[in-house]
Amino acid sequence: MNNLLIAQSGGPSVAINATVGGAVEYGLISGKIDRIFGAVHGIKGVLEDHLIPLHSVLSSPEKMTLLCHTPAAALGSCRYKLNDYRQDETDYETIIQVFRRHNIRYFIYIGGNDSMDTVLKLSDYCREKGINDIFVMGAPKTIDNDLAQTDHCPGFGSAAKYIATTFSELERDRAVYDDKNVTIVEVMGRDAGWLTAAAALSRGNGSHGPDLLYLCEQPLEPSDFVKQVKQKLSETTSVMVAVSEGIKNSAGHYLSEECQSGAADNFGHQYIAGAGRVLEGLVRDEIGCKVRAIELNLMQRCSSRIASATDLYESRMLGMKALSRALEGGSGEMACIRRIVNLPYEVSYDTADIRDIANHVKNVPASWILPDGKGVTREMIDYLYPLIQGEVPLSFEHGIPAHLKLF
């Protein structure tokens, strides 16, 4: 028996289930896979031998479509880091035992940086121990878009489409009054500003777009921020600001830490405010106009009703690619996307050595960011634009989108 095991790890996204779908489809058609399992809660589910028979659970086209349209991670996730096997082999031995018990020869792990660390360690372990009939492949997934070697990451395009759409809708909302106001929207991204940059795509429907755009790759001094907002307020009525949650000042401290350490209320409760909330306080205190901070929060990674069709398609293709390469004997690699042309958009699917991916972070190139919150360059827009194209026709149940639950 040659069986396939798939697991998901790291933060949820709208597209990660489509990658499971792609791998399952390819497995069913390849003629080389007997059974397909999913591990519940990532590598933890493997360690606990908690597997689901996907070949029978996903038996109908309806369920397969529903899986691809369901947000988050249908197999569950984890944040479990394997030890260095040179110091402790316990987990590795358990994993191989579970694999042998279920005749698993192909393992696809879908996730971000930390998940690729698992792919690296497990494939290294197999090589080192001479286990040459088990193939470990990674498939990328992170709304942060910060994985190296791939042009972009599944989940990012849908989150970018959510952000661009939401900025356009908020702009309409903010434009109804004629008194001066500032809206600060905090976007996910601790280390990379790709998602924040996507706010600029809100111009696609003729919206004005964010007036100020602060990516976490560039430091922001509170005093400069106040100056730049004042300038914009002198030019326009409603000022829209996009800011990365991970924005830092020039001393390298997160704004969200620096400005609020020790903030506690009458009852002694601590409040941990995000970057947007800190900037809101600055506008209120230093400028004094109407101001509102908005956190897009988890909605930006689970709003499947505004998923990008391009994103979901590519996510499926990457699941197929990961398995296709494993069936050829690949291990210790990650499926990735190579961009050929921006417009008309064209890509190819490839794999890359996991050593060049695990524990690396891909930032927004400095040359794509304009200074003083002025936004991003044409190159950045050309890069982002194709990733949010196309809509996904969801099915609804009693007025809300239908979801598939696997456990």
60 lies in the binding site for a copy of itself (CB under 8 A): no
- Which tokens belong to 61? 């086209």
138 with 147: CB under 8 angstroms?
no
Shortest distance, CB of residue 312 to a copy of itself, whole angstroms? 14
Q: Which is nearer to a copy of itself, 132 or 270 (CB)?
A: 270
Q: Which of 31, 61, 252, 262 binds a copy of itself (CB under 8 A)?
A: 262
Q: Which is nearer to a copy of itself, 243 or 354 (CB)?
A: 243
Q: Which of 264, 340, 361, 370 binds a copy of itself (CB under 8 A)?
A: 264
The Cα 10–Cα 78 span in angstroms is: 6
Subset of residues 188 to 227 that bind a copy of itself, contact rule: CB under 8 A: 201-202, 204-207
Q: Which is nearer to a copy of itself, 15 or 134 (CB)?
A: 15
63 lies in the binding site for a copy of itself (CB under 8 A): no
292 lies in the binding site for a copy of itself (CB under 8 A): yes
Which residues lie closer than 8 Å to 244 by C-beta, 6 or more apart? Answer: 186, 187, 188, 189, 193, 195, 196, 214, 215, 216, 275
Q: Which is nearer to a copy of itself, 37 or 385 (CB)?
A: 385
Q: Which residues pair with 295 in a beta bridge?
A: 186
Q: Which residues pair with 348 in a beta bridge?
A: 338
399 lies in the binding site for a copy of itself (CB under 8 A): yes
- Which tokens belong to 129? 């121990």
303 lies in the binding site for a copy of itself (CB under 8 A): yes
238 lies in the binding site for a copy of itself (CB under 8 A): no
Residue with tokens 């401290």: 253
Subset of residues 12 to 31 that bind a copy of itself, contact rule: CB under 8 A: 12
Is cis: bond before 154, omega within 30 of 0?
no
Q: Treating both helix axes as pointing N-terminal to C-terminal, what angle do 309-327 and 16-30 enclose, rounded to 10 degrees? A: 40
144 is catalytic: yes
Shortest distance, CB of residue 242 to a copy of itself, whole angstroms? 15
Q: Which is nearer to a copy of itself, 234 or 271 (CB)?
A: 271
User: Per the residue annotation, which of 114, 124, 144, 151 is the catalytic one?
Assistant: 144
Subset of residues 65 to 124 that bind a copy of itself, contact rule: CB under 8 A: 70-73, 76-79
39 lies in the binding site for a copy of itself (CB under 8 A): no
The Cα 330–Cα 315 span in angstroms is: 19
Residues with catalytic roles:
144
